[in-house]
Structure 1
Amino acid sequence: MESDARRVARDVVADDGWLADAERRVARDPASIVRLFASAGRHCGRASLPQVEGWTADEAARARLLLALPVAAVPRRVEDLYRYGDADEKRAVLKALPLLPLDGGAVPLLHDAIRTNDTRLLAAALGPYARHLDQASWRQAVLKCVFMGVPLSAVHGLTERADAELATMIADLRDERDAAGRHLPDDALALLKQLT
């Protein structure tokens, strides 16, 4: 997944000149990213990229803009772009996090995305950068995916991180749903079977 993200940021976006110019401007003047980030969809489109599953052209363009920032400007700009962006901009930030020199510094953005009821943000928050979440927070986020119907295929490293505690949480949710005449998604039942 992370290698796909790197590939997106490097060479997938068709460049009509706007993006290359925007990258140069961001490198010279980090504050310019605010306006350029917001207009990336208008200039690069929002089509899905068949070369790399799960990415759109505007997300890839925004990742490239973030990569063009001077390293010292990355933490502040990433936080601002996420905090003040619309849902598409927030999702692009979340998807770009594994590419950026942040270590675990952007974990508060993941927590924010996990608290929302936006399934796209929740899924993006559980990409490769979620390795920085502590285990308890990660389990709660996976359970929220099950609760909200987000496919568990969106959870990066699920089989490596899933543990007995997560199995207990999913089993409890299954019991609640069964009592209410509703059922868990098939992928959650498959995970539960695997863990138990």
Structure 2
Amino acid sequence: MHQNGWLTDAVARVRDDPRAIVRLFAAAGRHCRPEEDARTRLLLALPPETVPHWVDDLYRHGDAAERLAVLTALPSLPLGAEAVPLLHDALRTNDTRLIAAALGPYARHLDQHSWRHAVLKCVFLGVPLENVDHLDERADRELASMIAALHAERAAAGRELPPDARRLLDRIP
């Protein structure tokens, strides 16, 4: 079936029976490109009151691509802060794609302490800071202090801080 036909059919099936998303969410990667967009459309087809349950279920039982799709979709979904535990989970990994996605627009729900540590992890792992949504608005002296300490540690070891982290330090008053 043509990918748009497959997706149209899959969206209709999820609308009719939300439980169908389990199989269809996994299958989207075989039928559609980009798969994140297809998976977002499937999530948007769910009844709004079921979204927190399915987002959690699909993330926790999904492979890396499915987890990435869930994280990428979060800002588009009818959610408050219910999915913050998924961000915390992604930020505990060393999968740079998941970390970058966890710091997208939905990260506005992260408390400042968790957000700072996530940004520091980006610097540590070399995740480009351009992936961090509202970086300049949220960056504060505490984050600057944390990055400066990492910079000193790296300098003592003869290693550099990534250029985007040095530029961020220059921008924080």
Structure 1 length normalisation: TM-score?
A: 0.86
Contact 2:3 2:31 in 1 (8 A): no
The equivalent of 1:26 in structure 2 is: 14
Answering whether residue 128 of structure 2 is matched by residue 151 of structure 1, we say yes
The equivalent of 2:70 in structure 1 is: 93
Using the TM superposition, give the Cα deviation of residue 73 of structure 1 relative to its aligned residue in structure 2, in angstroms: 1.3
What letter matches 1:139 in structure 2?
A: R
Using the TM superposition, give the Cα deviation of residue 15 of structure 1 relative to its aligned residue in structure 2, in angstroms: 4.8
Answering whether residue 128 of structure 2 is matched by residue 140 of structure 1, we say no
Using the TM superposition, give the Cα deviation of residue 41 of structure 1 relative to its aligned residue in structure 2, in angstroms: 1.1
Unaligned runs of 5+ residues in structure 2 are none
Q: Give the one of 29, 41, 61 matched to 1:84.
A: 61
What letter matches 1:151 in structure 2?
A: P
Answering whether residue 31 of structure 2 is matched by residue 43 of structure 1, we say yes
2:49 and 2:13 map into 1 onto residues whose CA distance is 16
What letter matches 1:24 in structure 2?
A: A
Q: Give the one of 84, 90, 93 matched to 1:113.
A: 90
**Residue correspondences, number:** 172
What SS does the corresponding residue of 1:103 show, helix, strand or coil?
Answer: coil
- 1:117-165 CA distance string (max 9 Å, x none): 1000000000000000000000000000000000000000001100010
The equivalent of 1:170 in structure 2 is: 147
Structure 2 length normalisation: TM-score?
A: 0.97
What letter matches 2:120 in structure 1?
A: L
2:15 and 2:107 map into 1 onto residues whose CA distance is 27
Percentage identity across aligned positions? Answer: 68
Residues 147 and 188 (structure 1 numbering): CA distance in 2 closer, same or farther, change over 3 Å?
same
List structure 1 runs of 4+ shifted beyond 3 angstroms.
none
